[in-house]
Every structure is written in structure tokens, then in C-alpha cells.
Structure 1
Amino acid sequence: MTTIETLLDEGGRTFADEAGIQLEDTPAPLYRLLVLSVLLSRRVQAQLGIRACRELVESGLGTPARMRDATWQERIDALARAKYRSTEQTSTALGEGAQLVLDEWGGDLRRMRKAADGDAGTLAEHLTAVPRLGPVGADIFTREVQAVWPEFRPHLDAKALDGAEKLGFPRDPRKLAEQVPGDDLARFAAALVRETVNG
């Protein structure tokens, strides 16, 4: 049977880390995680979404102001370089989403954190107001952000719990969280999701 230590060693890399996001409780990394969550909300391979996020950031679009101020075509070109599909709709959504983050949260998602006050349901409501970020994307964001927003631990969504069940771990998020150090919970969740997707 796979142990938690083995799982963390073999697959315990967050999607944010794969996308080159050094996640911290500061505006730019949190916004980049939001963009990644939008890209992964679509039915695309995770690697495509990760690559598209990297390309957008490397193209200088890693803050809401820069994303909003980029032309529609500049966003399309960055997505196309990453071979991401639905470039036109996604370019529009990213521009509108950046404007929403600026208007509603002053460009700083820590304000969203404060408004959610530790309630994952409230956080999901705020997140799904972002264009093209549905419940799946909200789960991705919360699953990853628990690394720096500990009040949302444990966040193990249905995909993570499916992976846990497949490996013979308890399906109860609290029981699982008791076996994993808090700082490793986001990595553990990512590893469980990979088990579900790759299995």
C-alpha cells in the first residue's frame, strides 16, 4: 500500500509550483494562482493549463493590471504559444477577470481572503464570480491556496478524495488531514488528484 510519505515524494508537487508560481500570501502569486485556476477550469490536460499560465506570466501578464492592459491579441498570442485551446474566449475572460479583481478587490486577493473569513463556501462564491472560473476552478484555487491560507485547511475536494479512496486512505478530509502535516496538505491534495487523473 502507498504510504503518505511515498505519495508526497513521488507526486507531491502543487500545480502552482509546476506553473512556476512561488506561492506566498502576496498579491502577484495569488493572482497567478487565480489565472492558473481559470485555465485549469476548462476540460484541458493539466499540463496545457500549466504551460499557458507560465507563458502568460513570462509574457509580462502576471498581475491584474498588466493582464487588463494587455491587448486581446497579446493574450491570445501568449495562449497560442502554449498551444492552449479556446484562446479567443479565454483571452476575453482573462481581461474581464483582471478588471473584476481590480474593481472588487483592489487587485489584492488577500481582501477576498478577509471577506471569506475562513469559510470555503463563501470563498467559492467570490471565486466563481470570475469569468470562466467554475466550481472546479474554485476547488483548484482553494486546494492550492490552503498552503498559505491555513484557515481553509483541510480542503480536499472530490477529485482528491477519489484518489484517497483509490489508494486505500480514508475518504474523510479531517481524518486524512490528521495524517499529513498542515504545510504538506496542498502537496498531498495535488498528489491525490494526480492519482485520480492518471489512474
Structure 2
Amino acid sequence: MSQQDIVDALIADQGVLFSEEIGANIARDTPQELFHWLIGCLLLAARISSDLAVQAASALRAEGLHKIDGLLDADDVTVMRCLGENGYKRYDGVATDYLKSTAAIIRERYDDDLRNMLDDDADTVLARLTEAKGLGDMGAQIFAREAQLVWDVFYPRLDGPAEQAAGKLGLTTDHGALVSMAGSRERFVRLTAALTRAQLRGAGDRVEQAAD
């Protein structure tokens, strides 16, 4: 089958955004949704499965701990319990410190609004993202991969596991060509999520068939 068939299968079968999985609607481009995605990326960047990271980030939202006020007002035991019950038992203490410190940093340096760190240079924005404790370069790249839906500075972006999966499936890694095959900005971002998911969790049957 053609590269277009592979792209279409990826988007249709595995194109749910990781931000959507945790309950963050980053398409709204609001401080709250972007912050929830940021702390989701912090968890996704840890040495733990992406499934458990998604589960933990979703659980934080369910308990109101996805908000800056919620994290700063909560005691450590409350945050640790939420993380520990959702796959982070071995890392609940460290992760709690990272989450609360990140909430404090975004409040103090960016007035509760991640959009205040925007700049015309992508590397500058990535460096500012890594100020979040525990996020690191990997977490910043995860954030950028889906934030490109609303942040022009990152669009179009294909890197890390998404780029690796593209190579394995026989897709070009040329951004312009992939944007063209995706057909829209949103579909391109869904494509990057699908490729990341294929690399981390395995390609779906329909994707494998299209790649044969």
C-alpha cells in the first residue's frame, strides 16, 4: 500500500492525542488545559509505562490536582496517594515534589500561564519548559509534539519515537510531505501522536497491513 494509506490508517486507528487521553483539551489553548498537559508530560517522561503515566495524569484531574491552585493547596500525602494508587507507588514522593515545584515555577515566572513563555524561537521555548522540575528535554519534546496544535513556534514537528516509528513503517520523515498527506494541522498532530503510540505500544493491525 502507499504512504498515504499508512498515514490514514495511523490517524484513524491510533491518532488519539495523549493530551486527550489524560483529559486535557489543549485545542482550547487555555492556561488550565496547557498546564494539565505539562504535568502529564512530566509523568510521561518518567521511567514508567505510558499507560500508567496517562492513568496517573487522568487521576490527578479527577481529584482537582491538575490545577496550579489544587497542587499548591494540597498536602503532599494527598498527591502521593493519588499517584501511588495509579501506578506511581515507587515514584510517588519524587513525582509529588516535581509536580508541586512545577506549579510554583509556572505561578512565579509565568503568572499561571504557560503562554507567557512563548517566543519566536522554538529552542528558547523548549529551554523554558525544562525549567519545570523533572520534565527534562524529553518531557519538553513530548509537550511540544502536541502543543504544536496551537503553538505556531513548534509546527510542524516530528521527532523522537514518532520519527523512529515513521522510519520503521516506511514513511518519509520529511515534515512538509507528512503535513501534505495528513491534510490539516490537526491531522498532522494526530499523526505524530499515532506514530509515537505505534513506537511505544506497537502498531495496530490496520497500520501493519497498510505498511506491508
| TM-score, length of structure 2 as denominator length | 0.88
Q: In structure 2, what is the equivalent of residue 190 of structure 1?
A: 193
> 1:171 is paired with a residue of what secondary structure?
coil
Alignment of 1:10-89 (within 5 A): 10-23=13-26, 24-84=28-88, 85-89=90-94
> 1:62 is paired with a residue of what secondary structure?
coil
Look up the equivalent residue of 2:8 and give its one-letter code.
E
| CA displacement, residues 1-30 of structure 1 (integer Å, 9 cap, x when unaligned) | 452111100100010111111222101100
Pair member with larger Rg: 2
Q: In structure 2, what is the equivalent of residue 122 of structure 1?
A: 124
> 1:10 is paired with a residue of what secondary structure?
helix
Q: Contact 1:160/1:193 (CA < 8 Å) preserved in 2? A: yes
Q: Distance in 2 between matches of 1:148 and 1:6?
A: 24
Cα 1:158–1:83 shift into 2, 3 Å? closer
State the Cα distance separating 1:50 from its structure 2 match: 0.6
Q: Contact 1:39/1:53 (CA < 8 Å) preserved in 2? A: yes
Look up the equivalent residue of 1:193 and give its one-letter code.
T
Look up the equivalent residue of 1:29 and give its one-letter code.
E
Any gaps of 5 or more consecutive residues in structure 1? none
Look up the equivalent residue of 1:102 and give its one-letter code.
R
Alignment of 1:67-146 (within 5 A): 67-84=71-88, 85-113=90-118, 116-117=119-120, 119-146=121-148
Q: Contact 1:162/1:196 (CA < 8 Å) preserved in 2? A: yes
Look up the equivalent residue of 2:169 and give its one-letter code.
L
Look up the equivalent residue of 1:3 and give its one-letter code.
I
Q: Distance in 1 between matches of 2:153 and 2:98?
A: 29
Q: Contact 1:155/1:173 (CA < 8 Å) preserved in 2? A: yes
Look up the equivalent residue of 2:19 and give its one-letter code.
A
Any gaps of 5 or more consecutive residues in structure 2? 203-212
What is the aligned-residue RMSD (CA, Å)?
1.3
Q: 7, 20, 23: which is aligned to 1:4? A: 7
Q: In structure 2, what is the equivalent of residue 155 of structure 1?
A: 157
State the Cα distance separating 1:174 from its structure 2 match: 3.0
Q: Distance in 2 between matches of 1:89 and 1:62?
A: 17
State the Cα distance separating 1:183 from its structure 2 match: 1.6
90-99 or 62-71, which moves further after superposition? Answer: 62-71
State the Cα distance separating 1:66 from its structure 2 match: 1.6
| TM-score, length of structure 1 as denominator length | 0.93
Percent identity for Structure 1 against Structure 2:
33
Look up the equivalent residue of 1:55 and give its one-letter code.
A
Q: Distance in 2 between matches of 1:63 and 1:104?
A: 16
